[in-house]
């Protein structure tokens, strides 16, 4: 989403001739530019949500995860545009962000990673583990929680300059790349173990 938003800004500056004149506020003050921010923020979640099988209830539940993320993204954009602190919008953003985060964490740990199994011989993990050091899994779950709540920076409403704001955007986007790579490792590990178990059966 961050990449797409920056592509939107870059295209606007070039098309409007603002880059040559150094009038960088031109695009951000335009209504069309502002409305496109919502579309761009929704698109990745929408594309992912539409990749489901209507006959599979698990796929429908997974789609709900992306729909709730779309609602949270829209609320955050609206909140970030409020000129002053608005307690109502703060509450809306908090609720619409916390609920999808819990939903996503559950899906990460239980569905994608196969962890948090109460009956497992490895406490709150799964029966089969590739990594020998079990503490790695617990640390990874903690790290995933921290990376999933990066949206708190938006809700806290830090008032910083334009340059610092871009650096924060870059940092948050980098953390998301790290989170996805980290998530991928355990997802593939779980898929591999499930495939191996099914092959033996």
Looking at residue 170, its pLDDT comes to 83
79 close to 86: Cβ distance less than 8 angstroms: yes
175, part of any domain: yes
Name the residue among 72, 28, 25, 69 with its Cα closest to residue 49.
69
What does residue 81 show for φ and ψ, rounded to 5 degrees?
Answer: -95, 0
pLDDT < 50 positions in the chain: none
Domain count, the chain: 1
Looking at residue 180, its pLDDT comes to 93
Specify the pTM: 0.84
152, part of any domain: yes
CA 25/CA 29 separation, integer angstroms: 6
94, part of any domain: no
Looking at residue 84, its pLDDT comes to 82
Looking at residue 12, its pLDDT comes to 75
117, part of any domain: no
CA 128/CA 126 separation, integer angstroms: 6
169, part of any domain: yes
56, part of any domain: no
> What pLDDT digit, counting tens, does each position of 25-75 carry?
667 666 777 788 888 889 989 998 888 777 778 888 889 999 999 999 999
Instruction: Give, as one character, the DSSP assignment of residue 69.
Output: H
77, part of any domain: no
Give the range of the structural domain holding residue 150, as residue numbers without chain letter.
Answer: 127-200
Looking at residue 200, its pLDDT comes to 64
103, part of any domain: no
């Amino acid at each position: 989403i961050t990449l797409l938003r920056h592509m939107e800004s870059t295209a606007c500056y070039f098309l409007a001739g603002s880059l040559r004149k150094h009038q960088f506020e031109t695009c951000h003050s335009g209504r069309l530019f502002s409305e496109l921010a919502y579309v761009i923020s929704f698109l990745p979640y929408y594309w992912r949500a539409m990749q489901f099988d209507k006959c599979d209830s698990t796929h429908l539940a997974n789609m709900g995860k992306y729909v709730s993320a779309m609602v949270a993204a829209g609320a955050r954009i609206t909140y970030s545009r409020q000129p002053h602190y608005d307690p109502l919008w703060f509450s809306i953003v908090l609720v619409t962000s916390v609920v999808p985060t819990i939903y996503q964490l559950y899906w990460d740990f239980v569905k994608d990673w196969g962890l948090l199994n109460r009956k497992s011989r490895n406490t709150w993990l799964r029966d089969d583990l590739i990594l020998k050091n079990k503490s790695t899994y617990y640390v990874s779950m903690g790290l995933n929680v921290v990376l999933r709540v990066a949206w708190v920076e938006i809700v806290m409403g830090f008032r910083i300059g334009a340059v610092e704001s871009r650096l924060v955007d870059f940092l948050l986007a980098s953390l998301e790349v790290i989170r996805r790579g980290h998530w991928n490792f355990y997802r593939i590990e779980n898929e591999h173990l499930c495939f191996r178990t099914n092959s033996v059966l």
